[in-house]
Amino acid sequence: MKKEFTTKWNKSKQPRKQRKYAYQAPLHIKGKLLSSKLDKELAQKHGLKRIRLRTGDKVRVMRGKFRGKEGKVDAVNLKKSRVAITGIEISKKDGSKTKPLIHASNLMITDLQTDDKKRIGKKKHVNKARG
């Protein structure tokens, strides 16, 4: 296994190699890996299944302790590959509250922040049936 990161990495079935690739990736690639599934209505509207998370997107937690809760993306941590969501907090033993970091794969985007028109426009693909 190689020690440095390379963009010419071939896929592997071994989870350890997949984890190593994601862990050693530079931030611009980690950001691409931090994408989340779109709600059915949004997916049909924009012609996409998944899109990169940004602050301001409304999401629903699909897996884990906070399943079913909704909120806005408050912060995206690329180094840890995790997202903080407003409205979801944990109370600690000392009485303080903190926002847990949740992985993007456990979230579903219910509403997009559409300030940036290029965010959706350039990724729109139409699948043509071969005939």
Q: Which domains does the chain have, with CATH numbers?
A: 36-120 (2.30.30.30)
What's the pLDDT score for residue 131?
46
Q: What is the pLDDT of residues 28-81, one digit of tens each?
A: 889 888 999 999 999 998 888 999 999 999 999 999 999 999 999 999 999 999
Is pLDDT at 116 greater than 70 in this prediction?
Answer: yes
What's the pLDDT score for residue 124?
47
Structure tokens at 99: 């926002």
**Per-residue confidence band for 111, with pLDDT thresholds at 50, 70 and 90:** very high
DSSP conformation letters of 17-72: HHHHHHHHS-HHHHHHH-EEEEPHHHHHHHT-SEEE--TT-EEEE-SSTTTT-EEE
Mean pLDDT of 86-95: 95
* pTM for the whole structure: 0.80
